[in-house]
Amino acid sequence: MARPFTFYEFFAGGGMARIGLGAGWSCAFANDFDPVKAQTYRANFTDAADHFHEGDVWKLSAADLPSRADLAWASSPCQDFSLAGGRAGLQGGRSSAFFGFWRLMEALDDAGRAPRLIVVENVVGLLTSHGGADFAALGAALAARGYRFGALEIDAASLLPQSRPRVFVVAAREVPAGLTGDSPFHTRAVKSAHAALPAEAAARWVWWSLAAPPARNTDLAALLEPDAAAAWHSPDETARLVDLMGPLHRARLAAVSGRAVGAVFRRTRIEDGRPVQRAEVRFDGLAGCLRTPRGGSSRQSIVVVEDGRVRSRLLSPREAARLMGLPDGYALPRTATGALHVAGDGVAVPVVRWLAGELLEPLLSPAAVLAAE
């Protein structure tokens, strides 16, 4: 039996990248600063005591990282890249944690232990933050250490009933034949980010070939608890939610015949020059992108319309975990806020598995290395 591939997982959260990589991979080191996420990681992985480190990435050194890993995975904090945030970019307080990770990669490289692959996962805003300057800085850092790199924009909706676009920057020391070419994940944003790279970084660019997965065969309704087991809003609470909808979204409710299950987000829109809170409903079989809870408006709701009757409720923590591709046996924090924080701040498990099976593992296979040489 072939040895498992080894990896380091930085900003590991509840270990969703590890679950997505699967049984063919062995975690040599994992790290997260958040105590709730750290506790969740330990609750789900019996070997956590052997390799998990809770604490600030800036306080780690290369000596803390064992041996040499095939892959370093970094789902660095995304708040400063979020299109919904202030867009502070790589210099932002949270996303500057990336540089804490990157100095470790530089130290490993200096010691002859650089990972063969690096994956940086983040929100799509990484491609455009500061007019593309942040993405260019990331590319320049990778190129300076001998990596070839490319980006893929993958929406989890390809594999799960959740709209969750994310960017995966894949960097490799060897680029074998057969793994480059066209991909549906070379979106307009990816192409624009590539076009804005300085010449030195652009020379190290790779158009990774990653095919689209088979068509998704499940929808939001299939992942929800039975109606009888759910905690529904009162009629007055549902009426208040409907009152927040504009004409278009009320029309969507009215157009339902039979039974339909939808997802509802509350958002702030500018109307007549002033901010107005609105509820927006979708009946396309997808949940909206899960977010970390920072109050009631950030928590997604479910609406069920049946024979003209409208009911609503909050999405449960377990349902949120299913929307991330986590099994029902995955141990969530006991509080709803903690569980939604772990789920909403994670990486979609099936996306990681697809990326690993279609690109990362072929890049690391002995045949690929021989081809590159």
Any idea which residues carry the catalytic annotation? 78
Cβ atoms of 260 and 224 closer than 8 Å: no
The Cα–Cα gap between 333 and 325 comes to 17
The tokens for 217 are 């065969």
Helix-helix angle 35-44:336-344, to 10 degrees: 80
Closest CA to 286 of 368, 216, 199: 216
DSSP string across 280-325: EEE-SS-BPPP---SSGGGS-EEEEEETTEEEEEEPPHHHHHHHTT
The Cα–Cα gap between 307 and 257 comes to 7
Query: Strand 148-155 to strand 165-172: parallel, antiparallel, or no bridges (unpaired)?
Result: antiparallel
The Cα–Cα gap between 290 and 52 comes to 26
How many angstroms separate the Cα of 299 from the Cα of each of 246, 313, 320? 19, 10, 10
Beta strands in the chain (DSSP E): 5-10, 25-32, 52-54, 71-74, 117-123, 148-155, 165-172, 259-271, 274-282, 301-306, 309-314
Overall size of the chain counted in residues: 373
